[in-house]
Structure 1
Amino acid sequence: MRQLSETIAGVAPSATMAMSNRTKEMIASGIDVIGLAVGEPDFATPAHITQAAIDALNRGETHYAPSRGIPELTNAVADKLKNENHIPATQKQIMVTAGAKDAIRITMMAMLNKGDEVVVIDPSWVSYEPCVQIAGGRAVHYSLNADFQVDESIYEVITDKTKMIIVNSPSNPTGSVLGRSSLRLIADACMDHDLFCLSDEIYEKLVYGKEHVSIATVGDMHERTITINGFSKAYAMTGWRLGYLAAPLDVIPAMDKVMQHSVGCVNTFAMWGGVAALQGDQSCVEEMRKEFERRKKFVIGRLAGMGLRTAPAEGAFYAFINVGGDDVATANLWLDKAHVAPTPGTAFGAPGWLRISYAASMERLEEAMNRIESVM
């Protein structure tokens, strides 16, 4: 057999997509499976956003765009970050990417050298470590404490090879939100050891009774933070593949090189949809957030009634469930016997836990809870 990339051979496939693929196979065979493994809003993209893209198509906005994105969108992102997040980023510090995941990939490719270490805070999203590995770096894992917060022990995982700390708040998979004290500790560690911080804030608008704080606003962290966000979760635009990043000005040229020699530029007419999303009526976002909160209360309440403990569901749209023991076996039990598809916590660096998404209709969530209860 021909030899392939050793780097890619060492990367684990996505457990989320593996469960999703198995779910689709079962559905194709006629089994009524409730898929709660993938984090995708079940709402349609708001009409004014879709119309903006249609209008752009009709205007002929179908050609290559600047590699960092059309100026209308990079300016809109800069304004959003300044006004909503209080991050002092200029238009020159913005890059539009093919989704937030692409922004993470570009960051790693532009910033890591072979052997550089990146601190990944567990439980963590499944693609952080692979992005680090593909760029030649090494992920070093740090676990949140029992309150799903950061404490002084984060200093114990920092070495002379550490280059970056990844922050994800609200968190996928836990739904927890890092408090100001946790962010201050991470900021102090970055400043004490001259580290960068990648802050993935894709779920920032889906918060329930908590405050979202961008770590770039803590002290002088804007000088060493890459803030990543996008349109998929808040605006139900997963298939649009539209995200963005804000980075220190001296980092942007390296990121631009990665973009120029890979994706080239983001879908042009989709970017006009992004402009409409940021500059248009935001009531659609709040309507979806309220519905997610209603579903959250239902799901967490039903799970508690089954005696299942969950992580603090303060943001995003996930219930992270402590099932104890072999989480992979429990996930397969739920899928095979209850026909409900979760994602094993092992995929997120948290054995003994399962993640389910409540980005599904109340009718399907009610049925899912009934099925889960029948096998528990």
Structure 2
Amino acid sequence: MTRSADSPLVPRLRPFGTTIFASMSALAARTGAINLGQGFPDTDGPVEVLEAAARAIRAGHNQYPPGRGIAPLREAIAEHQRRWYGLSYDPATQVLVTAGATEALTAAILALCDTGDEVVVLEPTYDSYTAAIALARAVPRPVRLRHPSATEPGYRLAEADLRAAITDRTRLLLINTPHNPTGHVLGPDELDAVARVAVEHDLVVITDEVYEHLLFGGRPYVPLTTLPGMAERTLQISSAGKTFSITGWKIGWVCSTPELVAAVTTAKQFLTYVNGAPFQWAVAEGLALPDERFAGLSRGMEAQHDVLLPGLVAAGMTVHPTEGTYFVTADVAPLGYDDAVDFCWRLPDLCGVVAVPSSVFYADPTGARSLVRFAFCKRPEILAEAAERLAGLRTR
């Protein structure tokens, strides 16, 4: 028996439907347009990592791995956290391997939230966050990053806005930095503000750090958990997909206290249980690559950003600065469009490019309706062609 004449879905999941990424990728495939919508690279990652996966398959690492992940990967993750951030995690009790960061985030929210609990999220908000919150029967409380302006050239998180979102039902803060879709990296003052609020209200913080190695201008990444009072209340979540351009492998992880990791494991074991056995061996080798290889990955992504940017500017868009990730946000209002959804559906016909309307990342898109997210995690020659096509919009 269906739950309604319209859909068998339970009400809390009805708003989600097909993701905007799937819709825009289908549009790109149907029209033959250059897909700058969905954030996946069009090249493979470091050859050492790819070859390690092939070796692992041939070596017979193709059955269920241990529930928390193979020991060499958990050890490699713990060493990665020590090497880059000076953090100390016991790989036996404080590291959990997951099916990408999305599963880690979903398991954490399911494990830690009950019906009616509130989760504070930064807005614009990556769409899987609100879906996971709905699965837990919890409630999202968005805190909008303030948009770039004449006085503030970049996005920023205001402490007053964060404090205004806290209620007696707040259970979690979910902090994404480097931030998708804006490319903003929370600075020292913003991190301090999050830490102050979390400690004062005794909140658990989930940090989505999947773009930790894709910061631009040589800027170092500073995890929130390194701030005073945060180690005991922070769940660090990251993955190999974005760093190594292997998004299809879905190997992520959680690092935190033994108690918090155990809680997430309880939920995670009934989602995928385990995944990607040979890929876990390969990621362990990838995390041990020399520092220069990581720096090269970041420089390469920044160079790709610099290929696309002139096309957006030449088209007449207002381009918001990005400090990392795969993405850049542009305002298409100067082109005469006040609805980015309409603009993005028209874009393949206008110039043969696909992008994603940023308004879908807002609970209330007022003030953001004309914003568009472009992904630059593509080959330079593809980005150059896209830039040329986009530049032609000015003449239309």
- In structure 1, the residue corresponding to 2:127 is in which secondary structure? coil
- In structure 2, the residue corresponding to 1:176 is in which secondary structure? coil
The CA deviation at 1:12 is 4.7
Partner AA of 2:159 in structure 1: E
What is residue 102 of structure 1 aligned with on the other side? 103
Which stretch shows the higher mean deviation, 134-143 or 277-286?
Answer: 277-286
What is residue 199 of structure 1 aligned with on the other side? 207
Q: Are 1:65 and 2:65 matched, yes or no?
A: yes
Q: Which runs of 5+ in 2 are unaligned?
A: 148-153, 363-367
- In structure 2, the residue corresponding to 1:320 is in which secondary structure? strand
Contact 2:64 2:277 in 1 (8 A): yes
Q: How does 1:240-319 map to 2 (within 5 A)?
A: 240-319=249-328
TM-score, normalisation: structure 2: 0.89
Deviation string, structure 1 residues 78-98 (Cα, Å, up to 9, x no partner): 111122123332211110011
Q: Are 1:20 and 2:25 matched, yes or no?
A: yes
Contact 1:125 1:173 in 2 (8 A): yes
TM-score, normalisation: structure 1: 0.94
The CA deviation at 1:305 is 3.3
Distance 1:256 1:224 in 2: 16
Contact 2:311 2:390 in 1 (8 A): no
The CA deviation at 1:282 is 4.8
Partner AA of 1:361 in structure 2: R
Contact 1:203 1:234 in 2 (8 A): yes
Aligned length: 371
Distance 1:164 1:216 in 2: 15
Which stretch shows the higher mean deviation, 184-193 or 143-152?
Answer: 143-152
The CA deviation at 1:213 is 1.0
Q: Which runs of 5+ in 1 are unaligned?
A: 27-31
- In structure 2, the residue corresponding to 1:127 is in which secondary structure? helix
Q: Are 1:79 and 2:88 matched, yes or no?
A: no
Distance 2:369 2:116 in 1: 27
Q: Are 1:331 and 2:344 matched, yes or no?
A: yes
The CA deviation at 1:262 is 2.2
Partner AA of 2:381 in structure 1: E
Partner AA of 2:357 in structure 1: P
Deviation string, structure 1 residues 221-263 (Cα, Å, up to 9, x no partner): 1111111111111111111111111122212222222222221
Which stretch shows the higher mean deviation, 240-249 or 257-266?
Answer: 257-266
Contact 2:307 2:387 in 1 (8 A): no
Contact 2:73 2:283 in 1 (8 A): yes
- In structure 2, the residue corresponding to 1:233 is in which secondary structure? coil
Q: How does 1:146-185 map to 2 (within 5 A)?
A: 146=147, 147-153=154-160, 154-185=162-193
Q: Are 1:372 and 2:381 matched, yes or no?
A: no
Identity of aligned residues (%): 27
- In structure 2, the residue corresponding to 1:205 is in which secondary structure? coil
Contact 2:314 2:391 in 1 (8 A): no
Contact 2:309 2:387 in 1 (8 A): no
Partner AA of 1:185 in structure 2: A
Contact 1:98 1:242 in 2 (8 A): yes
What is residue 131 of structure 1 aligned with on the other side? 132
Partner AA of 1:363 in structure 2: E
CA gap of 1:64–1:251, structure 2 versus 1, over 3 A, is: same
- In structure 2, the residue corresponding to 1:139 is in which secondary structure? strand
The CA deviation at 1:218 is 1.0
Contact 2:251 2:279 in 1 (8 A): yes
Distance 2:305 2:246 in 1: 21
